[in-house]
Amino acid sequence: MSQMTRNDEQILAAITEQAGAWFVENRSGPLNNEARASFIAWLRASPVHVQEYLGIAALAGDLAEAVNDPQLSPELLLAEARADVDNVVSLGRPLPTQATARPRLRVSRTWSLASAAVTAIVFVASAAIWSGRDGERFGLPKTYSTEHGEQSVRQLPDGSVLHLNTDTAVTVRYSRAERIVDLDRGEALFQVASDSQRRFRVAAGEAGVVAVGTEFDVYRRTGAVTVTVVEGTVAVFTGTPPLPTPSNLLPPTAIRVGAGYQVEVHSRVGSPRAVDARAAVAWLERQIAFENRPLGEVADEFNRYGRVVIEIDDGDLRAIPISGVFDAYDTDSFAAFLATLEGVVVQKTPTHIRVLRLASAKRQRLPVDQ
């Protein structure tokens, strides 16, 4: 059996490092047409490329398992990998050539560890450790959600903090150019960690938000998205933005929104308006804060949290402006407040609170419990 030369080892190490880079790129999201063509061309260049890529894929499974297994640390796996590489070299494993090498469709753990150069192992291990702590291994999407009345706080692998409001679902994914959060429904507040290599983007239907080292809230509901900036600045736009470049991280058509301002996004981005940003995110303290807000809107806010549904069918009643600060889960106190309004009747059952005008309640001859 011929001995591997120093040049052979360097060539194999370079190929394996390329395989690791392509593996992470593929797990970071769908490749665009140009990248996909380059990847296919790289695979077709030599069976060795296919062989090493499959070895990295098998290695990634070992690393993913190690990250989740407290009895098998990544450091131990790396030490084992280095030992396997040394053993293979000492045994004189020949470097496969274009003429003799064949891709292996079944790759054993021993082969995957032995075939990967230490530099590629460290590269893939770093990616696994960085993303695996919170489930986004190698760019695989991770979904976080809350049920009705539930709230949650998550720290993302990049150090950003995600606050989920009631009945919310988000999907987090990473690529080389972006940290992307898809807001599928509900409301979330983002405290974004700085990363000069990857911009932080939130997608909520047609609405998009790019953070510029900031803290902001995005509320997605039927037909509209509300973006409120608590600290820093965001860029708000519609549609899918182009990939960022080192000189331009923001979409060219985006509207900048600063702290203390809010925008509504329908088919286009509205004009920023000044708001009490802290009141807008009072839900972080389990509160609902409102000033001269229509009664119907406030009732709808309470319905996002409580199990008892507040019903207000009268359009004039829903338009009455009210102000106050309430516990988001204390519908009884809110009902007591409504009962103090002139000409308003509150009817309560174990599952519903109906708010009516006094005249309407008398016409319906319904029992009144104020």
C-alpha span between 227 and 248 (Å, rounded): 22
Statement: residue 92 has pLDDT above 80: no
38/184: higher pLDDT: 184
Q: Count CB-CB contacts under 10 A for residue 4.
A: 18
Domain limit, last residue, from 71, 102, 132 = 132
Following CA atoms 248, 254, 260, 262 in sequence, which dihedral angle do they give, to the nearest 10 degrees? -150
Share of the chain above pLDDT 70, in %: 71
Residue-level pLDDT at 247 = 65
User: Does 274 lie in the same domain as 159?
Assistant: yes
Q: Is residue 342 part of a domain?
A: yes
Domain interval for residue 338 = 286-364
Q: What is the pLDDT of residues 264-309, one digit of tens each?
A: 999 899 999 999 999 999 999 999 999 999 999 999 999 999 999 9
Q: What is the mean pLDDT of residues 85-114?
A: 39
State whether 150 and 263 are in the same domain. Answer: yes
Kindly state the DSSP code that residue 204 receives in the 8-state scheme.
Answer: E
**Residue 1 resides in a domain:** no
pLDDT number for residue 152: 95
- Domain identity same for 292 and 272: no
CA-to-CA distance for 39 and 76, rounded, in angstroms? 31
Give the lowest-confidence range in 219-228, 239-248, 342-351. 239-248
Q: Do 272 and 154 belong to one domain?
A: yes
Same domain assignment for residues 125 and 190? no
pLDDT bracket for residue 46 (50, 70, 90)? confident
Whole-number percent of the chain with pLDDT over 90: 46
Does residue 370 belong to any structural domain of this protein? no
- The pLDDT tens digits of the residues spanning 253-264 come to 899 999 999 999
Q: Which of 6-20, 168-182, 193-207, 342-356 has the lowest mean pLDDT?
A: 6-20
Q: Are residues 148 and 273 in the same domain?
A: yes
- Would you state the pLDDT for residue 81? 47
Domain boundary residue, one of 109, 132, 155: 132
Domain end call among 250, 278, 306 = 278
Question: What is d(CA 135, CA 288) in angstroms, rounded to the nearest whole number?
Answer: 33
| 154 and 258 part of one domain | yes
pLDDT at 96: 38
Is there a single domain that holds both residue 274 and residue 304?
no
The number of distinct structural domains making up the chain is 3
Whether the pLDDT of residue 35 is over 60: the answer is yes
Does residue 108 sit in the same domain as residue 15? yes
pTM confidence score:
0.63
Mean pLDDT of 112-123: 45
Examine the pLDDT at 118 and tell me if it is beyond 70: no
Residue 114 one-letter amino acid: A
**249 shares a domain with 146:** yes
336 with 317, same domain: the answer is yes
- 133-152 confidence digits (pLDDT tens): 444 544 578 999 999 999 99
Over residues 30-35, mean pLDDT: 71
Burial 49-71 (b: 16+ CB within 10 A, else e): bbbbbbbbbbbbebbbebbeeee
Q: Taking all residues of the chain, what is their mean pLDDT, rounded to a whole number?
A: 78
Is the pLDDT assigned to residue 220 strictly greater than 60? yes
Q: Does the pLDDT of residue 355 top 90, yes or no? A: yes
pLDDT in the model for residue 63:
53
Res. 60: pLDDT tops 60:
yes
Residue range 43-51: average pLDDT?
Answer: 82
Residue 369 resides in a domain: no
pLDDT-based confidence at 28, cuts 50/70/90? low
Q: What confidence score (pLDDT) does residue 368 get?
A: 45
Please list, residue by residue across 221-239, b when 16 or more beta carbons sit within 10 angstroms of its beta carbon and e when fewer do: eeeebbbbbbebbbbbbbe
Structural domain includes residue 274: yes
More confident residue, 61 or 221: 221
Q: What is the CATH number of the domain that holds 298?
A: 3.55.50.30
- pLDDT value at residue 86: 46
Q: Provide the pLDDT confidence category of residue 238 given band limits of 50, 70 and 90.
A: very high
| CATH number, residue 268 | 2.60.120.1440
Residue 359 in any domain: the answer is: yes
3-state secondary structure 253-311: CCEEEECCEEEEECCCECCCEECCHHHHCHHHHCEEEEEEEEHHHHHHHHHCCCCCEEE
Determine the average pLDDT of the residues in 184-201: 92
In a domain, 103, yes or no: yes
Residue 13 and residue 122 share a domain: yes
In a domain, 40, yes or no: yes
**pLDDT, tens digit (0-9, with 9 covering 90-100), for 291-300:** 999 999 999 9
